[in-house]
Amino acid sequence: MIKKSIFILACVVMISACHSTIKKQGESSPAPAPSGITEATMTDAIQAIGTPVKGESAVLVEKGVRHAASLWCAADGTPEDFIKFCSENFISDPAKKEASFKRFSEYLESLYGHFNKLSLDMQENVQLQKGDLLSIDPLFSGYNPGAHLMNDLYENKIAFIVALNFPYFITEDKNSSGPNWTPLQWGYARLGDVFSSRVPSALVQLSSKVSAETDAYIADYNIYMGHLLNENGDKLFPENMVLLSHWNLRDEIKANYSNKVNGLDKQGMIYKVMERIVDQSIPKAVINSGKQDWKPVSNEVLVSGTKTESPSETDGRYQQILNTFHVYQALDPYYPTMNTAIQRAFSAGMQIPQPEVQKLFNEFLSSSQVQEVASIIQKRLGRELQPWDIWYDGFKARSSINEESLNAITEKKYPNAQALEADLGNILLKLGFTKEKAAFIASRVSVDPARGSGHAWGASMKSEKAHLRTRIPATGMNYKGYNIAVHEFGHNVEQTISLNEVPNYMINGVPNTAFTEALAFVFQERDLFLLNMKDPNPEKEYLKTLDIFWSLYEIMGVSVVDMKMWQWLYDNPNSSAAELRDAVLQISKDVWNTYYAPVFGMKDQTILGIYSHMVNSPMYLPNYAFGHLIHFQLEEHFKTHEFAPEVQRIFSLGQLTPNEWMHQAVGEPLSNEAILKAADVAIGKMK
């Protein structure tokens, strides 16, 4: 840890001479940059371009010069060199600019695509079920083949040509100007996004290494359920059941709502396991091991029936988070307009400022409808609510179906990854895609057996495939794995459409990951339909609304904990893992007491801190909440529009800003309004 901190500090000191200042909103002029590029130098560069431009073009000339100056280091040349560079490389002819843009797009697609393929290859042994891990596998998994790419493009001046001619627009500018932009202008703006910062390759490589380490930590955080004992010494779970935290543990809680025999006891035991993961009192010996039995309530570990001493994990979970935070701290100086990871995650990544996210979440979590939906759930359960009922799954059609019967169907249908891959085209046909489109999308997706819970990994060039990873036991794909796989396939469909059918390469993708989560939820919602199991319930639409509503209630609270944890980290940058653990426990209790205790009737629960994303996907959780909101608005749209053609149209819009994308997709802004109104109707019907 000490060596790592010293290395990060050395990187910051070594490269800090290249850090220059960008003009901020409200400032009359930027501060002089260490490179010597002053206000006077930029004025001279603008004059040296000498293009007789007016109006918006003149504004873009100045914007391009200022953006290029903000990235210029002393090592790149003198102020005179900068002026000469600008005069020689500014593209004034619109036709030549468009031709250059298309050429840049071709080069970047090849670079991104091949580096993405290399990253897949480097991480394959860690992420897929390919036998035992060797000591060298994590080392290659943490290696980033493209770590030096950006620095190389700055050194050969390609980056500066882009910055000068296709300047960076902050999110606020995109929101105000974007509605009037053509797809080509959006492409120009997204090309400008590529060179909005200048991070040293050593830090890029270190970030990849730490990310790979946290991924490996989470991928092996399995609980051997067949070795859990209640206080009477009874085993409640099958001997061979192994569940990954948090995904599979959560899903097992959901699965037991239909278990009328001992479902409540199972849920209570899993909840205790989760609490011990969050507070780190979990014995280290029981993580990813079935060599001993464990009583989660009393926290006793037994070997061959004899109690044995077993130390706790001792804050390993929180040390992983700290490792990521320290890397992000080191990156901060290289993002002058987004100098915290929080700003980059929200204003840059989600393209929605964090205060706006918090305001939207607070509005929903504080809504009067929450208590009313909770009352419906309590009545359906016939008991007082328990903390784990934040994952109540009884609004779904599958909640009334015994999971063993679902397992029997999916295990027979998908004995291995090849069987699922062979069926992807049929899945799309069932959803209404044409034979040609279904065949094309299916041909662009590869199914791989995952070590972890599964994920979707998109291609970055049209000649490569997207990857669907899901866990498939030797007995075949169980229902949990199938449900995850359908979700991930939704991602793959988005990834394929938004890469191959957008107007130009630079706007490939969606505004942020919430939008790909939305389509994943849309697909996941149809998992039973895809198994030819129909829901004849006349209340199914109201139940679907309440299901999405309750999912939002849960994930928004979890997201608030994640956001507050990162705010605490920036307020306490020198904290230890133990101090971070205590802070997360208190934050979890505070958020619970604010939004959940009035509904559940109990205080100081810590369960909102269980999500593994907090460890290996920093500040990703809010995307799920937005994904649910977008999911609901899409589902409302699909009620009056044909599903498959609209999926193709909507997800070929490309990477616009969130609000512009929503307006073009469904004609409405992104908000809580639609789900709250629909919840009122559903509550009235269900009462």
- The per-residue DSSP string of 385-438 comes to --GGGGG--TTSGGGGS-HHHHHHHHHHH-SSHHHHHHHHHHHHHHTT--HHHH
Pick the closest to residue 616 from 224, 124, 244 (CA basis). 244
* DSSP character string of 386-400: -GGGGG--TTSGGGG
Question: Could you say which DSSP state residue 533 is in?
Answer: -
Q: What is the mean pLDDT of the chain?
A: 90
Predicted confidence (pLDDT) at residue 284 exceeds the cutoff of 70 = yes
Cβ contact 204:144 at 8 Å = yes
Task: Provide the terminal-to-terminal Cα distance of the chain, rounded to the nearest Å.
Answer: 57
For the CA atoms of 315, 321, 327, 331, the dihedral, rounded to the nearest 10 degrees, stands at: -150
- What are the tens digits of pLDDT across the range 107-130? 999 999 999 999 998 988 888 878
pLDDT at res. 400: 67
Q: If DSSP states are collapsed to H, E and C, what string results for 245-290?
A: CCHHHHHHHHHHHHCCCCHHHHHHHHHHHHHHHHHCCCEHHHECCC
Q: Which comes out higher in pLDDT, residue 358 or 534?
A: 358
% of the chain surpassing 90 pLDDT: 76
**Could you tell me the CA-to-CA distances from 467 to 211, 446, 543, 668 in Å, in that order?**
19, 5, 32, 32
SS3 463: coil
- Least confident among 301-315, 346-360, 442-456, 494-508: 442-456
Is pLDDT above 70 for 55?
no
pLDDT of residue 309: 92
Residue 133: per-residue pLDDT: 83
Q: How confident is the model at residue 623 (pLDDT cuts 50, 70, 90)?
A: very high
pLDDT exceeds cutoff 50 at 666: yes
Token pair of 351, please? 């393209």
Task: Give 398's pLDDT tier (boundaries 50, 70, 90).
Answer: low
With a cut of 60, say whether residue 475 has pLDDT above it. Answer: yes
Judge whether residue 8 has pLDDT over 70.
no
C-alpha distances in Å from residue 544, one per residue of 367, 390, 628, 635: 19, 16, 12, 10
DSSP per-residue string spanning 535-576: ---TTHHHHHHHHHHHHHHHHHHHHHHHHHHHHHHHHSTT--
pLDDT for position 538: 81
pLDDT higher than threshold 70 for residue 27:
no
| In the predicted structure, residue 419 carries a pLDDT above the cut 90 | yes
Phi/psi class of residue 243: alpha, beta or left (left: φ > 0; alpha: ψ in -120 to 50)? beta
Confidence label for 21 from pLDDT (cuts 50, 70 and 90): very low
Return the higher-pLDDT residue of 250 and 202. 250
Q: Which residue has the tokens 């990871």?
A: 341
According to the model, what pLDDT value does residue 31 have? 35
Element (H, E) at 303: strand 300-303
Q: Which two tokens stand for residue 566?
A: 């990162």
Say what percent of the chain tops pLDDT 70: 93
Cis? peptide before 663, omega within 30° of 0: no
**Cα–Cα dist 665/657, whole Å:** 12
Write down the pLDDT at residue 26: 30
Tell the residue number behind the tokens 């061979």, with chain if given: 240
Q: What would the two tokens of residue 298 be?
A: 């009393």
Handedness of CA 533, 534, 537, 539 (dihedral sign): positive
Q: Dihedrals φ, ψ of 59, to 5°?
A: -65, -40
Q: What is the mean pLDDT of residues 347-374?
A: 95
**Residue that wins the pLDDT comparison between 563 and 351:** 563
**Three-state DSSP state, 244:** strand
> Phi then psi for 111, rounded to 5 degrees?
-65, -50
pLDDT (0 to 100) of residue 12: 31
Residue 190 corresponds to which amino acid?
R
pLDDT at position 32 is 35
What is the number of other CB atoms lying within 10 angstroms of the CB of residue 136? 9
For residue 7, the model assigns a pLDDT of 27
Whether pLDDT at 20 is above 70: no
284: exposed, middle or buried (C-beta count within 10 Å: 0-12, 13-18, 19+)? middle
Give pLDDT, residue 16.
32
**Stronger pLDDT, 140 or 507, i.e. the higher one:** 507
Q: What is the pLDDT of residue 50?
A: 81
Per-residue pLDDT tens digits for 62-121 = 999 999 998 999 899 999 999 999 999 999 899 999 999 999 999 999 999 999 999 998
pLDDT given for residue 51 in this prediction? 65
178-220: pLDDT as tens digits: 999 999 999 999 999 999 888 888 898 899 899 999 999 998 9
Indicate the range of 140-154, 365-379, 425-439, 511-525 predicted with least confidence: 140-154
